[in-house]
């Protein structure tokens, strides 16, 4: 039995899932849930206030704030929290190899799908708290098979903006680029992904977990 319980924070916008997980983790003698959050901004604030040892972090959460620099998803939260001393396990409903690659690039300690048995999740919390890395083995194999993300950072940024809909001018305004530059990035992404239009590029990149 550990001298002090592992302090865990939960970040997920699905309240039923988050509270259910909190209740299950609360049954463990060596784990204490110290904070919950449902937005990206709320997660950053909760970690700063409560200083958990481990953060269970959903990939897809609302930003929760219009302030400049607010993370737009869980992976951006993980990047924003780098250096704060919290070990992060990213949880996702979608077992996409591209998510795994992006997760590891943020410096997170683990990546698991949400439908993993709770026993595996508890074990993962204990392992990352010890300084180990935990990755779903099936997703690791998929990531190796899928190869690297072909999109540049700017191409991915433009496609994320395009996923919200609107004209080229709308997208250009969101990413602070000229319309011509946006068209060039979209055209390049379309070519790399082997699709025929912007909507297909967004769909293909999203399905691969690259956005």
Q: Which CATH class is domain 153-208?
A: mainly alpha
What is the DSSP annotation of 156-168?
HHHHHHHTT---H
pLDDT at 2 over 60: no
| 3-state percent helix, strand, coil for the chain, nearest multiple of 5 | 50, 15, 35
- Angstrom distances, CA of residue 24 to CA of 11, 31, 148: 15, 10, 36
- The residue ranges of every structural domain in the chain are 6-145, 153-208
6-145: CATH superfamily: Response regulator (3.40.50.2300)
| Strand pairing class (134-135; 110-113) | parallel
Cα 168 to Cα 175: distance, rounded to the nearest angstrom: 11
What pLDDT, on a 0 to 100 scale, did the predictor assign at position 1? 44
Cα 206 to Cα 210: distance, rounded to the nearest angstrom: 6
**Do residues 141 and 117 lie in contact, with contact meaning Cβ atoms separated by under 8 Å?**
no
**pLDDT per position as a tens digit, 133-181:** 998 776 666 665 556 788 898 999 999 899 988 899 999 999 999 999 9
**pLDDT per position as a tens digit, 65-108:** 888 888 988 989 999 998 889 999 998 876 666 677 778 778 89
**Do residues 82 and 109 lie in contact, with contact meaning Cβ atoms separated by under 8 Å?**
no
């Amino acid at each position: 039995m550990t001298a002090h319980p592992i302090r865990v924070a939960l970040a997920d916008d699905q309240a039923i899932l988050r509270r259910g997980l909190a209740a299950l983790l609360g049954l463990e003698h060596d784990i204490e849930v110290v904070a919950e959050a449902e937005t990206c901004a709320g997660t950053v604030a909760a970690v700063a206030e409560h200083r958990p040892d481990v953060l269970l972090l959903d990939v897809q959460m609302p930003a929760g704030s219009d302030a400049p620099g607010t993370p737009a998803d869980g992976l951006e939260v993980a990047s924003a929290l780098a250096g704060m001393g919290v070990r992060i396990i990213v949880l996702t409903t979608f077992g996409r190899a591209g998510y795994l690659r992006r997760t590891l690039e943020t410096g997170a300690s683990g990546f698991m799908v949400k439908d993993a048995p709770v026993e595996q999740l508890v074990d993962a919390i204990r392992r990352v708290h010890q300084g180990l890395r935990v990755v779903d083995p099936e997703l690791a194999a998929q990531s190796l098979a899928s190869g690297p993300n072909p999109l540049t950072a700017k191409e991915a940024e433009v496609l994320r903006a395009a996923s919200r809909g609107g004209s080229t001018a709308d997208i250009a305004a969101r990413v602070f680029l000229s319309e011509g530059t946006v068209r060039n990035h979209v055209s390049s992404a379309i070519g790399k992904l082997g699709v025929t239009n912007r909507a297909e590029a967004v769909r293909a990149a999203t399905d691969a977990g690259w956005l």
